[in-house]
Amino acid sequence: MERQRTRQVIRLLLLVGLLLLIGLTGVALGSVRLSPGEVVRSLADPPWRGAAAPTPGAAAIIWDLRLPRVVLAALVGAGLSIAGAGFQGLFRNPLADPFILGISSGGALGAALAIVASLDLGWAASGVIPIAAFVGALLTVGLVYAMASAPGRASSLNLILAGVAVKPPPGGTSSWPAPTSWPAAWCCCSWPAT
């Protein structure tokens, strides 16, 4: 028991070290290459302490551009892994994902309908699309749950079967509006003169 716990701690420390190494690499690489030493020095002495940057603009590149992107990427990855582990635990299936329940298809349908319906809104359409995708995914979850719980209690098998049954209509419908909207129709259906 103690040996297994020691292995888990070692594995966790190795993974944290790998995450830090990948983060350091993500901050160092870019159009302006910074050496790992410059990155570590700048991270050890942040600009708000009054430390001089190793190279001109390095502090701005690291603290204003690259580090926020690396941290955000790590947080998004952590959130996705938690959601994936939740799906796998809920369905007791290591292959479970949002596609099984049709959630992705419902979200895609909501986004596609928002894109087609809000072509003339301009900049305001950018906030409508994620909300419509979220609403479409929620409606799909509600429909799947209603179908799975119709015989009584919603078991994981009933949820999977209902999700597989609900998935095709939103998936097929979400691909239909694309060629009917003018930008997509122009891209898909215009041919160069020969």
pTM to 2 decimals? 0.67
10 Å Cβ neighbour count for 25?
Answer: 12
Q: Name the residue among 56, 17, 21, 50 with its Cα closest to residue 38.
A: 56
Which pLDDT band holds residue 15 (cuts at 50, 70, 90)?
very high
What is the pLDDT, as a whole number, of residue 136? 92
10 Å Cβ neighbour count for 70?
Answer: 17
What is the pLDDT, as a whole number, of residue 179? 55
Query: Tokens 């390095």, residue?
Result: 58
- 3-state SS assignment for residue 175: helix
Residue count of the chain: 194
What is the C-alpha separation between 144 and 167, in angstroms, rounded?
Answer: 9
What is the pLDDT, as a whole number, of residue 122? 64
10 Å Cβ neighbour count for 86?
Answer: 11
What is the pLDDT, as a whole number, of residue 165? 86
> Could you read off the pLDDT of 123-133 as tens digits, one per residue?
666 678 888 89
Give the chain's mean pLDDT.
Answer: 81
**Alpha helices, H only, 64-181:** 67-91, 103-117, 125-148, 156-166, 168-175, 177-180
What is the pLDDT, as a whole number, of residue 35? 86
Which pLDDT band holds residue 43 (cuts at 50, 70, 90)?
confident
> Could you read off the pLDDT of 60-113 as tens digits, one per residue?
888 889 999 999 999 999 999 998 888 888 888 887 777 888 888 888 888 888
Which pLDDT band holds residue 139 (cuts at 50, 70, 90)?
very high
Which pLDDT band holds residue 160 (cuts at 50, 70, 90)?
confident
What is the C-alpha separation between 117 and 125, in angstroms, rounded?
Answer: 9
Exposed / middle / buried, residue 79 (Cβ in 10 Å: 0-12, 13-18, 19+): exposed
